[in-house]
Chain A
Amino acid sequence: MRRAPVLIVLALVALPVFGAGLEAFQFGDKVPEQRFKSLIAELRCLVCQNQSLADSDADLAHDLRQEIYEMMAAGRSDQEIVDFLVQRYGDFVLYKPPVEPRTWAIWYGPFVLLLAGLLILVHTLRQRRRQPPPAFSAEERARLDALLGDGAHEDGKHT
C-alpha cells in the first residue's frame, strides 16, 4: 500500500507518452524532421491555447501539422509557413510575437523592471553607506562598559 503514491506519480509522469502522438510523417532525413519539429513547437494551437501544435491532440492541430508538412514538402520556407498561419489566425499563433510598438511591453518590460530594481538597489546601498553607524548615548555607553567589565576595556576609556 505504501507504494501507491509512487505508482501514481509514475503513472502521471508517463502520461505524455499516451498524449498527442505525432502522426507518422515521413521525412527520410533528420534535417527536415528536426526543422518540422522545431517549427510546430513554436506555433500555438488555437484550440488548446496553452499547447503548441506539437503538443496538441486537437483536431485542428492535426490538420495544421498536415498542412505544414505538405508546405514543407512543397519547398516552402519557414517564414512562408509562419506567414501562412499568421494571415489566418493572427499573431496569436506565434509563441514569439513580432517586436513592434504594440508588443514592446512584453519584449522590453522585464528589462525595464530589472533596471528599475537595480537602480533601487544601488540607491539603497549608497544611502546606507552614507549614514554613520548609530552613536551610543551616554546611558548606553555606561551600560556597555558595565557589561564589558569595569571600565578596564581599553576602547571604553576613549569615549
Chain B
Amino acid sequence: MPAFLRYLTPLLLFLALAGLLYRGLSLDPHRVPSPLIGKPAPAFSLPRLQHADATLSSDDLKGKVSLLNVWATWCVACRAEHPLLVQLARQGVVPIYGLNYKDTRPEAQRWLQRFGNPYLANAFDADGRVGIDWGVYGTPETFVIDKRGVIRFKQIGPLTRDVIDNTLLPLIRRLQEETA
C-alpha cells in the first residue's frame, strides 16, 4: 500500500462517517413514510360528528380529489394548523373531510363553533379504530386522496403555509386533471 494511501485512508473514513452523521442530523425520524401511499384508502363507515345518525364512509370520498384531515381537540398542533385549514376551505379548491380522532362530541363541536368549520363533513372516530386502519400515529395528519380513492400523499404533523402552497396545492391541481 502506498504510504500516502495509508495516511489518507483514516481521513477518508472519517469524512464518510461525518457525512453520514451530518445527513442524519437533518432527517426527522418522526416522519415515517406511510406504506399506504399509492394504495386505496382504507374503507371505513363512521357516524358523523355533527349528525350522529348520518354516516360518513370512504365511498363518500370517491369521484373527486379530497383531503382527509385527522384532528382532535386534545391535539395542540391541530390548534395551530386549524386557521390554515379554514383558509384553505375558503379558497374552495378541494373538499376537506375530517376524521375526528379519539375525541368527545361536545368538545369537538365546541371547537368547530369557536374556531370555524373547514370540513365538508367529519367522521367521529371515538375509539381510534379507523385511525389505526389509516396508520395514524401523530395528529394532525392530512391525506390527499385522488379521484379513484387512492391515497397519494400524507402530511404528518401540522400543515404549514409552505407545505400547502408548494406541495399540497400543486399536487391537488395535478390530480384534478387526471381522469378518474
Chain A residues in the interface with B (C-beta under 8 A)? 46-47, 49, 59-60, 63-64, 67, 86-92
Contacts and interface: CB of A to CB of B under 8 A. Distances in A.
B2 interface: no
Interface of B: 29-30, 32-36, 102, 127-129, 132-135, 137-138
Contact of A47 (B33, B34, B36, B137): B137
The main secondary structure of chain A at its interface with chain B is helix
Contacts, number: 36
Given A59-B102, A63-B128, A89 B30 contact: no
B107 to A, nearest CB: 16
Contact of A88 (B30, B33, B36, B138): B36
Contacts of B102: 59
A155 to B, nearest CB: 36
Closest CB pairs A-B (n = 9): A46-B137, A88-B135, A90-B35, A92-B32, A89-B135, A63-B128, A60-B137, A49-B29, A47-B137
Contacts of A47: 137-138
A71 to B, nearest CB: 11
A12 B102 CA distance: 33
Given A59-B102, A63-B128, A89 B134 contact: no
B33 A90 contact: yes
Given A49-B30, A60-B128, A60-B137, 18 more contacts: A47-B137, A49-B29, A59-B102, A63-B127, A63-B128, A63-B132, A64-B132, A67-B132, A87-B35, A88-B35, A88-B133, A88-B134, A88-B135, A89-B32, A89-B34, A89-B35, A89-B137, A90-B32
A88 B32 contact: no
Contacts of A60: 128, 137
